[in-house]
Structure 1
Amino acid sequence: MTLQIPEEINLFDEMVKQAKLHPKKVIIEDMQSRFTYKKFLIAVNIMSKKILESAGHEERIGLFLPNVAAQAIVLFALFKNEQQPCLLNFTMGTQNIIDCMETASLQTVITSREFVKKADLSFTLDEMEKQVKIIYLEDLTNGISTLHKISGLVESRVAGLKKRKMSDVILFTSGTEAKPKGVVLTHRNIYANIVQVKEYIELNENDRIFNPLPLFHSFGMTVGAILPFILNMKSFLYPSPLNFRDIPKAIYKDKSTLFVATNFFFANYARFATKKQFQSLRIVVAGAEKLKEDVRETYKEKFGITILEGYGATETSPIISLNTPQHVKEGTVGRLIPLMEAKVARVEGVSEGGNLLLKGPNVMKGYLIHGKGFVPCAEWYNTGDIARIDEDGFIHIIARLKRFAKIAGEMISLNKVEELALECFGTSDFYAVSIPDRRKGEQIIVFTTQSRFSPREFKKFIKSRKMSMLYMPSEIRQIAEVPLLGSGKPNYWRLEKLAKE
């Protein structure tokens, strides 16, 4: 049977179907609250009315909220209203956030006083308030009347009778090279990705997802906050992926079976976790950045866990490929999920692999560009990643196209420099960037938080591997901590800036 994706989908309607079948099942939980489908549906109905009362039928509404169940309620309330949520990344800095609001032509942003205070974002909010109307969740909830509650309950009983139009969700790129771009995903894109994953990897209704990734991160949103409601799988939203000591405890308490994070986060959880705390985990997936060999081995040896490496992009809703418990090839990001097509385009100067191009029902509608408006996606989405696909269909990501340095006319992979440092020094805590060089075109600077490293030893190691000495960095610098993006990836743009200084 061929997998079919309907042309018109509204994610609120899809949630209602499951809520009708499983009203008493606890479907979402955070540190302070838990909701059954029935309670969640009533809350969504009430919230949808409160948003319309406060913001009217504005096409797009900004969300500036932490990783809690209340944000999922607001998300589905907007789906119900056929409005477009624009999820703002509160870690990207005030100017980038202002740029995002301008890119999406936002008039209203929903946030929380408690969140702004805890996250120390008062200055950012003051600047935002100069541009848009701010609505506080606390005011929306305090203004809920008996009539709202009765209406929400009645609507939950008749939910599903009206079919809603399909709408969009807008996420934003990190804006490290220019102003952030808005990635426009339709409800169909997101629904397709959920169905593609369900078809590809064995998920069941008893699975429990642990999601510490913020919802402005496409994986956090799709897998952590939408998939659970569509596939009837409980999700636990944890407020920050940076609580390295407490997250293993929370996984143990929740008896979570599915856990997704980045290499950086996995490395840090391993420092504090015990085997017992991770014993309930059935599927553990690494994405967003390359899984380093030392982290992979630590999880095998310490916890008996095989981390399955996957690959995705905000523009693909986000999942593109995945290793599964049945089909694993270490060092790859797995095979394409169903209904996706890929081709590799040659890149001048790159000897292995080429530019990875994709198409499928989960590929975005297009971009919102600052000052230009909406730009539709081309037939093939250009990932900007250099990859090769082997004879078994497994994808090998070699590097970002931007993660190459051109030295003396040669294209040198910065990922390869990091891999060589791992082999030489036994830790993946090395981060390579390139900066302009008058003589050679570019030079490589490597940053590390390690105190024990020897450039001379690294040079000898590169020679012993019979590699070109162009892989030898001009300098290895020690730093106190690695700057991160909100997604948990190393912020190479900040490191590059540091290198130039």
Structure 2
Amino acid sequence: MTLQIPDDVNLFDEMVRQAKARPKKVIIEDLSNALTYNKFLIAVNIMSRKINEVVKNEDRVGIFLPNVVAQVIVLFSLFKNEQKPCILNFTMGTQNIIDCMETASLKTVLTSKEFIKKADLGYTLEEMEKQVKIIYLEDLRDGISAFHKVSGLIESRVSRFKKRETSEVILFTSGTESKPKGVVLTHRNIFANIKQVFAHIEVKETDRIFNPLPLFHSFGMTVGSILPLVTNVKVFLYPSPLSYREIPKAIHKDKSTLFVATNTFFSNYAKFATKEQFQTLRIVVAGAEKLKDDVRETYKNKFGITILEGYGATETSPIISLNTHQHYKEGTVGQLIPLMEAKIAKVEGVEEGGNLLLKGPNVMKGYLIHGKGFVPCGEWYNTGDIAQIDQDGFIHLIARLKRFAKIAGEMISLNKVEELALECFGESAFYTVSIPDKRKGEQIVMFTTKSKISSREFKKFIKSKKMSMLYMPSSIDYVDEIPLLGSGKPNYWALENLAKNK
């Protein structure tokens, strides 16, 4: 049977369909709330009415909230109102957040007093208030009258089904090279990606998703916040992926079966978790950065878990490919999910693989560019990733096109330098960047959290592999910890600045 994606999808309608079929099922939970479908629907009905009272005619509305149930209620409330949520990344830094608000022409942002205080974002909020109106959820909650409650309850019981217009969600790129871009995803893009995943890997209604990834992270949004509500799969939202000791305990308590994180996060969870705490996990997926061999082996040997490496991008809602237990090839990011097509475009100077281009129903509508407005996506989305696709259809990611250094006219993969360091020293605690060099064009600087690393030993190892000495970093510098982006990826931009300012 061919997978069919309807043209007109509103994610609120899809949630209502499930809620009416299973009103008493607990579907979403965080550290302080657990809501059945019915309670969630009533909360959305009330919140959508309150939002409508304060931002009635605004097409786009900003969300600046942590990974808790209230945030998902706000998200679905905007879906119901046929408004476009613009999800702001609170880890981006004040200027980038201001840039995002300008890019999306926001007039109003919804946030929480408690969150601003806990996250120490007072200064950021002061700067935001110079540009937009800030509305606190606490104030909306205090203004909920008996009328709101009764009408919300009645609305949840009325079986008449309103067909809503399909709408959009806007996420933002990290803005490390220029001002952040808004990624415009339609409800159909997101719904298609959910359907594609269900056709690719067996997710059951009895599964329990554990999601520590924030809503501004496209995986945290699609798989961790929307998929559960529109497919009847329970989710536990954890406010921060950085709670390395507490998350294994929370997974054990929830009896979670599906868990997604990045290589960096998996590496840290493994330091504190026991085999018993992870025993209920059935599907464990790594994405956003390359899964390192030592982390893969740790999970196999310590927990008996095969981490399934996948690949995605904000622009593809986000999932592109995924290994499954039935179709698995170590060192790859799996096969394309259904309805996606790929082609490889040759890149001058890159010997192995080429630029990966994609199309499919989950590919974004286009970008919002600061100062320019909306720019539609072409027929093929250019990932900027250098990849190969083998005869079995498995994708081998080689590097970001931007993760190459041009040294003495040769293209050197920075990922390959990190892999060589892992092989030489037995740990994935190495991160490389390139900076300008007057003599050779560019030079490689490596950072490590491992003390007492011998440059001589690494040079000897590269020679023993019969590889060019252009792979040898000009310096190997020790740092206490590697800066991370909110998504859990290493912040190479911060490391690059560190290397330039040495």
Shorter-chain TM-score bucket reads over 0.9
Distance 2:264 2:465 in 1: 27
Is 1:198 the equivalent of 2:168?
Answer: no
8 Å contact from structure 1 (residues 16, 159) kept in 2? no
8 Å contact from structure 1 (residues 17, 160) kept in 2? no
SS of the residue 1:215 aligns to: coil
8 Å contact from structure 1 (residues 13, 160) kept in 2? no
Distance 1:159 1:165 in 2: 19
CA deviation map 1:69-128 (0-9, x unaligned): 000000000000000000000000000000000000000000000000000000000000
CA deviation map 1:440-491 (0-9, x unaligned): 1100000011113100000000001111100000000001110110000000
1:26 is matched by which residue type in structure 2?
Answer: V
Who is 2:420 aligned against?
Answer: 420
1:349 is matched by which residue type in structure 2?
Answer: G
Who is 2:332 aligned against?
Answer: 332
Distance 2:10 2:99 in 1: 28
Who is 2:83 aligned against?
Answer: 83
Percent same amino acid at aligned positions?
Answer: 80
Distance 1:470 1:333 in 2: 28
8 Å contact from structure 1 (residues 386, 398) kept in 2? yes
Who is 2:53 aligned against?
Answer: 53
Displaced runs of 4+ in structure 1, greater than 3 A? Answer: none
Distance 1:111 1:382 in 2: 34
- Distance change in 2, residues 1:206/1:219 (3 Å): same
Who is 2:217 aligned against?
Answer: 217
CA drift at 1:379: 0.4
Who is 1:108 aligned against?
Answer: 108
2:45 is matched by which residue type in structure 1?
Answer: N
- TM-score for both structures, normalised by structure 2: 0.99
Question: What residue ranges of structure 2 are gaps of 5+ in the alignment?
Answer: none
Counterpart mapping for 1:304-453 below 5 A: 304-453=304-453
Counterpart mapping for 1:470-485 below 5 A: 470-485=470-485
- Distance change in 2, residues 1:438/1:160 (3 Å): farther
1:15 is matched by which residue type in structure 2?
Answer: M
CA drift at 1:159: 5.1
Is 1:282 the equivalent of 2:300?
Answer: no
SS of the residue 2:78 aligns to: helix
Distance 2:410 2:183 in 1: 34
Distance 2:420 2:159 in 1: 57
Counterpart mapping for 1:29-40 below 5 A: 29-40=29-40
Who is 1:494 aligned against?
Answer: 494
Who is 2:464 aligned against?
Answer: 464
Counterpart mapping for 1:20-169 below 5 A: 20-158=20-158, 161-169=161-169
Distance 1:20 1:452 in 2: 61
Distance 1:275 1:452 in 2: 32
RMSD: 0.5
CA deviation map 1:382-422 (0-9, x unaligned): 00000000000000000000000000111000000000000
Counterpart mapping for 1:291-302 below 5 A: 291-302=291-302
Distance 1:426 1:72 in 2: 41
SS of the residue 1:402 aligns to: helix
CA deviation map 1:269-304 (0-9, x unaligned): 000000000000000000000000000000000000
Is 1:186 the equivalent of 2:186?
Answer: yes
2:386 is matched by which residue type in structure 1?
Answer: I
Distance 1:347 1:389 in 2: 15
2:181 is matched by which residue type in structure 1?
Answer: K
CA deviation map 1:162-201 (0-9, x unaligned): 1000000000000000000000000000000000000000
Distance 1:158 1:367 in 2: 38
Who is 2:7 aligned against?
Answer: 7
8 Å contact from structure 1 (residues 7, 188) kept in 2? yes
CA drift at 1:29: 0.1
1:52 is matched by which residue type in structure 2?
Answer: N
- Distance change in 2, residues 1:15/1:436 (3 Å): same
Who is 2:255 aligned against?
Answer: 255
CA drift at 1:57: 2.4
1:220 is matched by which residue type in structure 2?
Answer: G
SS of the residue 1:109 aligns to: strand
Distance 1:161 1:445 in 2: 59
CA drift at 1:231: 1.0
Distance 2:198 2:104 in 1: 32
1:167 is matched by which residue type in structure 2?
Answer: S
Distance 1:380 1:159 in 2: 41
Distance 2:159 2:345 in 1: 48
CA drift at 1:18: 0.3
Question: What residue ranges of structure 1 are gaps of 5+ in the alignment?
Answer: none
Aligned length: 501
SS of the residue 1:498 aligns to: helix
8 Å contact from structure 1 (residues 24, 36) kept in 2? yes
CA drift at 1:160: 5.2
